[in-house]
Amino acid sequence: MSLPGSQHAVGTDGSDYQHRECIAPHYRASIESKSRLRLLIYSHFLLGFLVFVHILTYHTSLMSTLNVPRPHLWQYIWLNSILSSICGLVSINKNRIFLMKIFFRGTVIFGLGTIITTIIINLSELFTFKKLKTNHQLDELEPQTFFGFPLLSAYSLIADNNNNNNNNNQQCTKDSCSSITSSTYYVLYDVNHGEGFNLRRDVYIRMANLIHTLRERKSADSNWILVLPPWGPLYHWFSHNLPRTQLKWSNFFDIKSLSRFIPVIEFEDFLQLFTSSSSSSSSTSQITIPYVYTLQHFSEGWGENFEEKLEIRKCNEEPMYEKRNDNYYYGWFFGYDDRIRARQFQCLSAQGFVTVLVDFLIQNITWSDDRNKEQVVKSIMFDRAETVLHVDYGGYNYWRARRSMRYAKQLVDLGNRFRVDYLNSTDLIDRTVLIDDWTKMKRHHSQAMGGPYIGIHLRRRDYIKARPGYVPSLEHAARQVCHHLNRLNLSLTFIATDADENEIDTLRQHAHQLCETSSNQIYTYRPNEKILENILDGGKAIVDQWICAHARYFIGSYESTFSFRIQEDREILGFEQDSTFNRLCGDHEVLLIISLIAIYWFQRKPTLSKPDDIQQTIRNFRIDNGGVKGAGASHEGSFVDRMIHSNKKMVVFYGSQTGTAEDFAQRIAKQAKRYGISAAVCDPEEYRNFICVFLLSFRFAIRYEAGYHVGVFPSNDAALVNRVGELLDVNLDEIISLLNVDEDAQKKYPFPCPCSYRTALTYYLDLTSMPNTQILKEIAQYATDENDKTLLTLMGSYSEEGKIQYKEWILDSCRSIVAILEDLPSLKPPLDHLCELLPRLHPRYYSISSSPKVHPTSIHITAVIVHFETPTKRVAKGVATNCFKELYMKHQAIGCAQHKEGDTCHLPGRLPIFIRKSTFRLPFRFQTPIIMI
């Protein structure tokens, strides 16, 4: 409060009302300007948020169902303007001029400047868009939006006008593909007219992988689009009163789902896309395809070795395209022969996978620019596309293409409605729910349960003549149906078949007699005329497949592609393989199976004793150490050394002490010399330390035949395992667990875990084999000495010098991983990483030397104990045979007098083994003479 008589501001007491009214508008204008500026900045933030989500979506694939195009470079630069907007928002409250300058400069440079530069660069594309709009090709085009916001249509026009250059796969129609660029190419294909509906679907997968490979090639800087061939008259489409030619894929499949793997376009849309821009009357306009190739096999066949190759040759058959007076080729072209012509036609002999065409397309195809003279489309057509094979059949991209082949919604709805009305089946109860975007779906075996019915595909019309032995009679088919219904405790059956109504009624009668099934419990899908006119024969087949694919158990027909497609659908849905890969047996096949069972029953050997322990482990282990030592000088070395020193290529052992066997062995050696083979004659008793007979005894009779193999799981030498622990300074008793990080791997753990390092090195990992170059390359990083690291890196490379060094230092020197660690002291790899790199210790296989008729409860194997000195003066031992020897020596020290039977010592112990069958068989009649070597 001011004192009386002191100075005070004029107007502050309210007396200067006129002055206050004079300056008030300036303050009100400032407040309004700041409010508008805040609105603009908030709008800027909102747009920046959408652009950020756009970029984040592309890099993380969080919302692939939105089909957001790949972000452009200008979007990343434009995001920097958000930082300047933050400065502008902070400067408003207190009128900070410095921050306001940063706001205006950043907005102009990073915001407006980036957009203006982008518009200038894409002017040619904008003119093309305007031209196509003027020609009424984009009248049906939906408003260009970003995340569904119409306010951003201008942004979408600028950013997405060049969508065809993006790697993002989008559905391509006559409208969405109108804005084509100079780097857009189309691949057309056709199949042999005799092929059916389901094999044509299989050929689509091959061509889809061709397009996918072309788009992945870095050298192919272009946008490849697959043109879907219209469906024509097929053999199994019996409704001749319905349209059977020039049918779109959208009648049967979800085009949007196909486009999630590769960009596709319907053939009709492809024609309208180009003919409408060249003439107002599309019926008279023609487009020219520069290249048309008919694929064919090589006339001389595959030859001795299969190899991929391509060669332009003379046509093996009369071509379906003819050259007319105007020097253009005309042909079938799916029935559009009056609207399409080809500039060049040749026959291309192809052998190999579909990717053999990739390099041919990239390197040998050139495109001439003469659009002013004629309507030339940058396209290429392959006729008889079934000639080339699948690339990586059953692999990752094969299944991606197959999963993309979702059926049309109207067909799926019809199939689901039938399941609900007649089969008590729904996706929720059957655990077969599929999400719309197949790229986000991961299903595994046993996840699907299926509806309470059996699905059967019974093909009869053409198979009765083509494959009579594999098509069951109606009575036998009904018998198989009843068997599976009783086994699975089900009562409903759905049959997809091409049989007529009379045959279906006969099948129902047989089923009613055999398994007391009423006629209304065997169903077939028979749509009325109105529905059939809408979905056509192909749609009915898909509904049949859809219903069969959701069954609890499926039985198909022999080598039918119709059944194959159902089995693939069931794989995608997540059914067990046992409930999917089954087929109906023909009458002759059943007789054959019964005959084989009868033969086996009468020829089988009776079991001598009933096993009380089913574990296939060795109850008693014993080593036959030879016998009484033979007379004469003993040769302490190996018979292999003797063969090397005497330059012999063959050895003949004799086992009798009477002299007859030795004399006969000498005669065999002389006969071998006549054929240029030098042979040595040896007494096995002289090499008792090297040739041993191991007897693996059981408490019960084990089934095996002469010539079978026994697989033994050995263990590494304990001294070798301890040496690894010493070299790496690791506690071998530490408990570890190795987890497989690959989600698609069949095994979660590489070996049984958790376990100790000692257990892993002893029983699971191979320590004696020579490591490959990949292991050397991986462990080179752990060598602290530069010379050691250089040596390992060199041997791990693919250079010629590295291969030579690897041969000399590893292979010729017989160095194992333990020897490498000893010779390179600076190499200290982590033991857990080493466990990941080392190969598994595989079982050792030995031919069984005994006869099951004489030794039903034991197996005899004859083996040479591997024990030699390497060039590095180390002793190398065989894993399995020395495992037997060590066990024998250990128990020999304890003593085995209480177990002696003659000269054989029984040693208690356990080793895991298994029997492996062999193709070797003795003659059925024992009178048949044989020569055993």
Asked, for residue 95, whether it belongs to a domain, the answer is yes
Q: Is 322 a catalytic residue?
A: no
Instruction: Examine the domain organization and report whether 571 and 468 are in the same domain.
Output: yes
Query: Could you tell me what percentage of the chain is helix, strand and coil, using 3-state DSSP and rounding each to the nearest 5?
Result: 45, 15, 40
717-737 average pLDDT score: 89
Whole-angstrom distance, CA of residue 200 vs CA of residue 885: 62
Instruction: Examine the domain organization and report whether 304 and 208 are in the same domain.
Output: yes
CATH at 647: 2.40.30.10
Give 116-141 pLDDT, tens digit per residue. 887 887 676 566 555 544 544 344 33
Give 280-308 pLDDT, tens digit per residue. 444 457 888 999 999 999 988 877 777 88
Asked, for residue 357, whether it belongs to a domain, the answer is yes
Q: Residue 714: name the closest of 581, 539, 835, 863 by CA.
A: 863
Report the run of H or E that residue 572 belongs to, with start and end.
helix 561-573
């008919």: which residue's tokens?
294
Of 369-373, 539-543, 724-728, least confident by mean pLDDT is 369-373
Of 97-111, 148-162, 628-642, least confident by mean pLDDT is 148-162
Task: Please tell me the pTM assigned to this model.
Answer: 0.50
Q: How confident is the model at residue 395 (pLDDT cuts 50, 70, 90)?
A: confident
Please tell me the predicted confidence (pLDDT) of residue 259: 93
183-192 average pLDDT score: 89
- Which letter, b or e, does each residue of 240-275 get, where b requires 16 or more Cβ atoms within 10 Å of its Cβ? eebebeebebbbbbbbbbbbbbbbbbbbbbbbbbbb
Give 601-616 pLDDT, tens digit per residue. 655 544 434 434 433 3
Report the run of H or E that residue 757 belongs to, with start and end.
helix 757-759
Instruction: Return the ∠ at Cα 521 (arms to 517 and 523), rounded to 5°.
Output: 135
Instruction: Examine the domain organization and report whether 725 and 689 are in the same domain.
Output: no
| Residue that terminates a domain, selected from 815, 842, 869 | 842
Q: How confident is the model at residue 82 (pLDDT cuts 50, 70, 90)?
A: confident
Q: How confident is the model at residue 370 (pLDDT cuts 50, 70, 90)?
A: low
pLDDT at 66 over 60: no
CATH at 359: 3.40.50.11340
Neighbours of 610 (CB within 10 A): 7
Q: Residue 887: name the closest of 859, 910, 918 by CA.
A: 910
Task: Let me know: does 799 contact 828? Beta carbons within 8 Å.
Answer: no
Residue count of the chain: 933
Whole-angstrom distance, CA of residue 376 vs CA of residue 341: 10
Report the run of H or E that residue 57 belongs to, with start and end.
helix 17-60
Of 343-347, 414-418, 691-695, least confident by mean pLDDT is 691-695
Instruction: Examine the domain organization and report whether 143 and 269 are in the same domain.
Output: no
Asked, for residue 504, whether it belongs to a domain, the answer is yes
Asked, for residue 10, whether it belongs to a domain, the answer is no
Whole-angstrom distance, CA of residue 357 vs CA of residue 348: 10
What's the one-letter identity of residue 654? Y
Instruction: Examine the domain organization and report whether 384 and 255 are in the same domain.
Output: yes
Instruction: Examine the domain organization and report whether 587 and 515 are in the same domain.
Output: yes
Give 32-47 pLDDT, tens digit per residue. 777 888 888 888 888 8
- Which letter, b or e, does each residue of 479-515 get, where b requires 16 or more Cβ atoms within 10 Å of its Cβ? bbbbebbeeeebebbbbbbbbeeebbebbbebbbeeb
Choose, from 195, 576, 778, 822, the residue flagged as catalytic: 195
Instruction: Examine the domain organization and report whether 61 and 185 are in the same domain.
Output: no
- Counting the structural domains of the chain, the total is 5
Asked, for residue 929, whether it belongs to a domain, the answer is no
pLDDT at 585 over 60: yes
Please tell me the predicted confidence (pLDDT) of residue 754: 84
Output DSSP code: residue 250: G
pLDDT at 372 over 50: no
Q: What DSSP assignment string belongs to 776-787? A: HHHHGGGB-SHH
Number of H helices, E strands in the chain: 30, 26
Task: Let me know: does 729 contact 752? Beta carbons within 8 Å.
Answer: no
Instruction: Examine the domain organization and report whether 120 and 51 are in the same domain.
Output: yes
Please tell me the predicted confidence (pLDDT) of residue 148: 38
Give 794-818 pLDDT, tens digit per residue. 998 888 898 899 999 999 888 999 9
| Residue that terminates a domain, selected from 127, 160, 193 | 160
Domain containing 743 equals 718-842
| Residue that terminates a domain, selected from 824, 842, 860 | 842
Instruction: Examine the domain organization and report whether 477 and 516 are in the same domain.
Output: yes
CATH at 581: 3.40.50.11350
Give 262-284 pLDDT, tens digit per residue. 999 999 888 888 775 544 444 45
Asked, for residue 614, whether it belongs to a domain, the answer is no
Q: State both tokens at 265.
A: 């376009």
Q: Residue 788: name the closest of 820, 819, 836 by CA.
A: 820
Instruction: Examine the domain organization and report whether 801 and 865 are in the same domain.
Output: no
Q: How high does pLDDT run on average in the chain?
A: 77
Please tell me the predicted confidence (pLDDT) of residue 568: 93
Asked, for residue 781, whether it belongs to a domain, the answer is yes
Instruction: Examine the domain organization and report whether 187 and 288 are in the same domain.
Output: yes
Output DSSP code: residue 427: H
For the chain, percent of residues with pLDDT exceeding 70 = 74
Asked, for residue 94, whether it belongs to a domain, the answer is yes
Whole-angstrom distance, CA of residue 911 vs CA of residue 622: 12
Instruction: Examine the domain organization and report whether 656 and 751 are in the same domain.
Output: no
